[in-house]
Every structure is written in C-alpha cells, then in structure tokens.
C-alpha cells in the first residue's frame, strides 16, 4: 500500500511538472507586457501610489476571479469524460439540451464563435509573447532596437520549422524550464517588494474597486489591458484531459499564482521607485547583470507558450474535423506512444504566415496588445455561456443557482470584452477578422454537410428492400470481400449501384460500413464496432470513434472477428463514393450561392478519406456521383 501511494504521488508530481510546461506557458509570460500596458500613459491615469496600488489590486483580483474562481473552481468541473476545451464544452452543452432542442442551434453558433476566436488567439500568442521577450534587448541598449523584429521573426520561423518533428522530446524540457521561469519571476518580485513593501496593500480589493470606478471612462478603458494578465486561462481547461484536475490545480495554487502575484507586485514597486521604468517595468525590475540572461530565459518561456498554443490549435482542429465542423486535413502522427502528438502541415503554414504578418505589421508588443485582448475576452465569454447550459440542463441545478453561478462571471467577462472592443481600430480588427473567416468556414461546412446528407437521403434506396429484390435474381458472385463506405447505413451506397451497373458482379461477401464520430471524446475498443447480418453474405458494420480518437478503419474491422466477421485485408476491396458537388443556388433549403461555392471548393480540396480513415490506398476503388445543392 505504501509503495502504491508513493507511485501515485510520483505520478502526480510528474504530471504537475509537465503541466507547468504546457498549461501555464501563456499566462506565465503575461508579466512581460500586462503591467506595462495596464499603466500605459495613453490611459491618462497618473503613476502615483494610489493608482499603482489600484492597478495592482485590479490585476490580482481579476486573475483570482477569472482563473482561480471561474476556470479552476467552476468550469474545470464541466468535463466531457475527463476532456476539456471549447469543443468538449460545446459537445457537453449540446448533449445537455437534447430535451430542449430549441437551444441546440444557438449553442452551436455560440460554440463555433468561441472556437473561431481561438484561432485569432493562436496567431497573436506566439507573436506578442516572442516579441515582448526579445524587446528586452532595448532595455540593455537602444543600439539593438532595430534587431528586435528580425530576431523575433527568426525565432518564430525556427519554432514553426520544428513542428513536423513533434514535441515529445522537447516537451520533456518544458516543465523544468518553466519552473526556473516562475522561480525567477518570484525572486525578482520579492526583490522589488522588499524595496517598497507598500505594494502589499494592493491585496485589499478596495483598492481595485476605487481604481475601476474613480477615473471615469479611463477606468473602463484600462480593463482592456488588465485582461492581458489572464490570457491563457482557457488553457487550464483545454489541457485538463492530458494532466487531470489535481495536477493543474496543484501547479496553479502551489507555484504559478504565487509567482505571478509576487512579480506583478514587484513591478509595481519598481514603478513607484522610478515612474520612467514604465517603458518596460518587467526588465527594469532585474539587476543589470541579469538582464541578458533573462532575455534568453524569457525567449525560451515564450517559445514554450507559443508551442503550447500551436499544439492546442492542432488538437482543436482535429476535434473540429472529427465533429464535422471543418473539412478533412492531412494529420500526421508524430509519436507512436502519445496520440496527442500530431502535426497539421496546412494549419502550420497558415499560422506561420499570419503570425509573421502580425509581427511585421504591428511591430511591437504594445501594438499587438491592442489586438490580443479581443480574442481572449470573447473566448472566455463563450465558455461562460456554454457552462450555464451544462450546469442548468446537464447537472440539473435549479435556475436561480445557475444564474447566480454564471451571471457574475458573465458580467465580469462582458466588462472586459466591451473594453477590448474599444481597441478594434488599434488592432482588435485583426483577430476578429480571423475569427470571422474561420466562423464562416465552419458554419458553411457544417450546413453544407447537412444539405449534402439530406440530398443523399432524398435519392436513396432502402437497403434491406434493395437486397431482397437483388437476390431474387442475384448477379454473379466473385471471390473476396467488398467494403462499401456509406454515410447512411440504412440506404444503398451509390458506389454499390455504380459497381453493379458497370461491373455486373457482386463479391461473395459484402460489408456496408458506416463510420460514426460520437460526441464522446474516447470510445473503447470493446464498443467500437458492431456487426449485423443481412443475409446472403451481406453485413452491416457500424464503427464508432470518439472525437479525440484517431479513426482507423482497418483496426476497427479487425475487431469484427469476435462477432463472426473475419476480414482478410489482402482479399478485400474498399468502394468509396466521391461526390461531385454542383452549386446551383435558389434552393429553398440551401445556402447563399457564395456559400455553396465555398462548400464545393472545400469539399473538392478536402484531404483524402483513405488517409483520414487509414484505409490501404492500394485496396480502394472510387466511383463518382454528381449532387446538386
């Protein structure tokens, strides 16, 4: 028992260390720019003792409310069989309102909006993080200022160039580096506090209340900068499935929150001692001998934060594809042991170009900060809305309690989101543009698939009636097994009709295969495949994968052996229907013509279904059909 307890504690410690390297990279690098932007001169709030204490208190209590209370205490309880993140929360909220179908479409649209804003966040996080770290060179000497942007671009190109190798090896170093980073944050924070301990008074929330109410409109404007202190809060929830609640909570309360608090207060002490240090209070807090080592450590920390965001984007994209919100893409598995280690070449290229474009276009972390907050606040607001439906309809809590539990967070999020919208003309348009494009793509693909499936069902022939008719005068049978993939398991696949029409034969065994992606994150092997006998050597096989599973049709078909259907892959041919989608416009139940054309283009350029389902390409026969939408 003692050894088992020791192993459990060792495993928890390892997970906590790993969580430090993956989960807290984004929020852990916020001190690089959060204080500087919150006390920026453009807000018109003078840097006196009262205002510095008020600003520090606002940052501290905003982090406590947004992270400690909202995500760590409430939202992390809303898991989909251990999985978190915007997609898992969307699925959980949708399944919670099955008895209230009027909410399903609004929830889907809200969820798509939140997921779309995440992509804007994914572009800006690497840009602002790396740029703010390299800007430390300007503190050392103005002669290096012209190198900040080129070096930042070089670091980002190197980071994205390494993605195809996977992060398994480098990931082992992430935790220890971030431990050193947080200890450095805490140490320099203590150094500043010892020099000016009056900043500890900022723990009193009264200072925050006076700060956000005592400067008129400027108090509202400054909220858009304060929210930079809790960017990355959603990562705690999104990575819950990898590390679990306890390690994340342990790392947050045991190291991250204390280190961040000490550092923010230390920067405040530096501002009180020298208001001119507002140009970069983070680096001015360090002694001169530590400046360049900290630039190096900060660069490493921001690369880790960027890597976590990039990996999160891969995971979100994979889930969106599985759930039918994005077209199929090439997904490369970079680790034989870790299923979460994936690489998407197409997404990598788009992220790289957009991130470098943001660095070159905005040129500084201060300019990027104006763009950054919109995506962060918008995603957090969506999380709060979806959580309401989970606790109200999923958990069955009474309405007043649900309103009380989420209403305060909605007011909190709306305040910060509204403030961030004031900066649309300064750069907030950038993530909103990205989010709008992604939302249009997701909504169009989702609706297009619904229309396509409806068209297929409209012209479909009932399978069992067709087989009964077919075998009254059966065609010649040939050796082997034919597997027909179909989206409608009760209908005759078009590929079968074309095969009978052109080849005039039927294999001795015929399998009608329907692949379903469920709203569960994982489907165990024992529940993955079901076989139904249709007679005359025909079988209906339904294969189920969770939206976190890697779809593998060959592996799933091997599971059918235990149900009396043993399939020899060397004697098996897979027949697929390739639909040629023709946009015609004008249909009552269709989409606008531009959306139909967009859907047709996405379908035409979608990744190979054989690669996506891991079907041997040398065993595949494709037969085309034309469908108007």
- Whether 439 is covered by a domain: the verdict is no
Together in a domain, 416 and 491: no
Together in a domain, 402 and 475: no
The answer to whether 72 and 249 have CB atoms below 8 angstroms apart is yes
Among candidate residues 407, 427, 447, the one where a domain is terminated? 427
- Whether 490 is covered by a domain: the verdict is yes
- Comparing CA positions, the residue from 27, 303, 14 lying closest to residue 177 is 303
Together in a domain, 224 and 366: yes
The answer to whether 203 and 327 have CB atoms below 8 angstroms apart is no
pLDDT digit string, tens, across residues 211-244: 999 888 998 989 989 999 998 888 788 877 777 8
- Whether 451 is covered by a domain: the verdict is no
Percent of the chain with pLDDT over 70: 95
Would you state the pLDDT for residue 2?
A: 47
390 DSSP 8-state letter? I
- Whether 497 is covered by a domain: the verdict is yes
Q: Whole-angstrom Cα distance, residue 548 to residue 160?
A: 24
Together in a domain, 112 and 215: yes
Q: Whole-angstrom Cα distance, residue 254 to residue 617?
A: 51
pLDDT digit string, tens, across residues 56-66: 999 999 999 99
Rounded mean pLDDT, 6-10? 54
Would you state the pLDDT for residue 606?
A: 87
Together in a domain, 75 and 171: yes
* pLDDT of 8 over the 60 cut: no
**Which residues does residue 538 pair with via DSSP β-bridges, in sequence order?**
510, 535
Together in a domain, 236 and 282: yes
- Whether 41 is covered by a domain: the verdict is yes
CATH number at residue 369: 1.20.1740
Q: How far is CA 188 from CA 47, 145, 261, 267, in A?
A: 21, 24, 11, 9
CA torsion angle 391 396 397 398 (round to 10):
120
Tokens 């909605």 belong to which residue? 410
Ramachandran sector of residue 504 (left: φ over 0; alpha: ψ -120 to 50; beta: rest): left
Domain hosting 227: range is 2-427
308 pLDDT band (50/70/90 cuts)? confident
- Comparing CA positions, the residue from 622, 621, 629 lying closest to residue 602 is 629
pLDDT digit string, tens, across residues 393-449: 989 899 999 999 899 999 999 999 999 998 888 888 999 999 999 999 999 999 999
Domain count for the chain: 2
Rounded mean pLDDT, 524-540? 92
- Whether 332 is covered by a domain: the verdict is yes
- Whether 97 is covered by a domain: the verdict is yes
Q: Whole-angstrom Cα distance, residue 38 to residue 483?
A: 61
Q: Whole-angstrom Cα distance, residue 378 to residue 512?
A: 44
- Whether 448 is covered by a domain: the verdict is no
Among candidate residues 411, 427, 443, the one where a domain is terminated? 427
CB atoms within 10 A of CB 43: 18
Cβ-based neighbours of 93, under 8 Å, separated by 6 or more? 107, 111, 386, 387, 389, 390, 394
- Exposure b/e, 325-342, CB count within 10 A at least 16 = b: bbbbbebeebeeeeebbb
pTM of the complete model: 0.86
338 pLDDT band (50/70/90 cuts)? low
- Comparing CA positions, the residue from 201, 478, 223 lying closest to residue 376 is 223
Together in a domain, 477 and 405: no
Would you state the pLDDT for residue 191?
A: 95
Together in a domain, 488 and 372: no
Together in a domain, 184 and 319: yes
Long-range contacts of 493-497 (CB under 8 A, 24+ apart): 493/575, 493/577, 494/456, 494/577, 494/623, 494/625, 495/575, 495/576, 495/577, 495/621, 495/622, 495/623, 496/575, 497/461
Together in a domain, 525 and 423: no
Higher pLDDT, 594 or 141: 594
Among candidate residues 427, 446, 477, the one where a domain is terminated? 427
- Exposure b/e, 293-312, CB count within 10 A at least 16 = b: ebbebbbbbbbbbbbbbbbb
486 DSSP 8-state letter? -
Together in a domain, 486 and 358: no
Long-range contacts of 472-476 (CB under 8 A, 24+ apart): 474/506, 474/536, 475/500, 475/504, 475/505, 475/506, 476/504, 476/505, 476/506
The answer to whether 26 and 232 have CB atoms below 8 angstroms apart is yes
Together in a domain, 320 and 413: yes
Would you state the pLDDT for residue 453?
A: 86
pLDDT digit string, tens, across residues 161-215: 888 776 555 555 788 899 999 999 999 999 999 999 999 999 999 999 999 998 8
Q: Whole-angstrom Cα distance, residue 573 to residue 513?
A: 12
Rounded mean pLDDT, 241-261? 89
pLDDT digit string, tens, across residues 66-88: 999 999 888 888 887 777 888 88
């Amino acid at each position: 028992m003692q050894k088992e307890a020791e192993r459990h504690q060792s495993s928890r410690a390892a997970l906590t260390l790993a969580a430090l390297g993956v989960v807290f990279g984004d929020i852990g690098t916020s001190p690089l720019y959060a204080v500087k932007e919150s006390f920026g001169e453009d807000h018109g709030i003078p840097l006196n003792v009262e205002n510095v204490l008020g600003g520090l208190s606002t940052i501290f209590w905003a982090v406590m409310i947004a992270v400690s209370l909202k995500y760590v205490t409430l939202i992390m309880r809303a898991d989909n069989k251990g999985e978190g993140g915007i997609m898992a929360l969307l699925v959980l909220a949708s399944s919670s309102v099955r008895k209230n179908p009027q909410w399903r479409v609004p929830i889907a649209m809200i969820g798509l909006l939140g997921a779309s804003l995440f992509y804007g966040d994914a572009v800006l996080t690497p840009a602002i993080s790396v740029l703010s770290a390299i800007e430390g060179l300007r503190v050392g000497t103005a002669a290096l200022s012209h190198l900040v942007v080129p070096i930042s671009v070089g670091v980002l190109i190197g980071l994205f160039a390494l993605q195809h190798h996977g992060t398994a090896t480098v990931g082992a170093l992430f935790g220890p580096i971030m431990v050193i980073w947080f200890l450095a944050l805490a140490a320099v924070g203590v150094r500043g506090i010892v020099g000016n301990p009056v900043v500890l008074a900022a723990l009193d929330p009264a200072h925050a209340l006076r700060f956000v109410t005592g400067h008129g409109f400027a108090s509202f404007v400054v909220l858009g900068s304060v929210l930079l202190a809790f960017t990355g809060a959603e990562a705690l929830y999104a990575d819950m499935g990898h590390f679990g609640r306890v390690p994340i909570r342990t790392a947050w309360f045991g190291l991250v929150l204390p280190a961040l608090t000490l550092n923010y207060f230390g920067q405040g002490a530096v501002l009180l001692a020298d208001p001119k240090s507002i140009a970069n209070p983070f680096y001015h807090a360090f002694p001169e001998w530590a400046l360049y080592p900290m630039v190096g450590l900060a660069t490493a920390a921001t690369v880790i934060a960027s890597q976590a965001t990039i990996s999160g984007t891969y995971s979100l994209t994979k889930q969106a594809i599985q759930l039918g919100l994005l077209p199929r893409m090439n997904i490369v598995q970079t680790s034989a042991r870790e299923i979460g280690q994936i690489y998407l070449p197409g997404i990598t290229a788009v992220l790289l170009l957009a991130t470098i474009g943001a660095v070159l276009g905005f040129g500084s972390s201060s300019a990027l900060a104006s763009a950054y907050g919109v995506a962060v606040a918008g995603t957090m607001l969506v999380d709060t809305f979806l959580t309401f439906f989970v606790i109200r309809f999923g958990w069955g809590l009474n309405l007043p309690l649900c309103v009380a539990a989420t209403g305060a967070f909605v007011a909190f999020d709306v305040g910060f989101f509204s403030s961030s919208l004031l900066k649309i003309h300064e750069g907030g348009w950038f993530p909103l543009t990205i989010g709008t494009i992604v939302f249009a793509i997701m909504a169009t693909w989702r609706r297009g698939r619904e229309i396509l499936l409806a068209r297929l069902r409209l012209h479909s022939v009932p399978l069992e009636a067709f087989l009964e008719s077919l075998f009254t005068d059966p065609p010649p049978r040939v050796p082997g097994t034919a597997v027909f993939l179909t989206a409608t398991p009760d209908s005759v696949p078009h590929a079968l009709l074309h095969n009978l029409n052109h080849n005039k034969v039927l294999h001795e065994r015929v399998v009608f295969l329907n692949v379903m992606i469920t709203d569960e994150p994982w489907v165990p092997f024992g529940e993955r495949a079901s076989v139904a006998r249709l007679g005359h050597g025909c079988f209906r096989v339904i294969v189920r994968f969770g939206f976190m599973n890697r779809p593998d049709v060959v592996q799933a078909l091997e599971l059918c052996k235990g149900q009396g259907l043993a399939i020899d892959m060397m004697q098996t041919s897979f027949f697929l229907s390739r639909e040629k989608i023709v946009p015609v416009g004008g249909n009552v139940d269709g989409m606008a013509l531009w959306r139909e054309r967009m859907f047709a283009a996405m379908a035409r350029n979608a990744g190979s279904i054989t690669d996506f389902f891991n079907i041997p390409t040398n065993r595949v026969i494709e037969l085309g059909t034309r469908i108007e939408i």
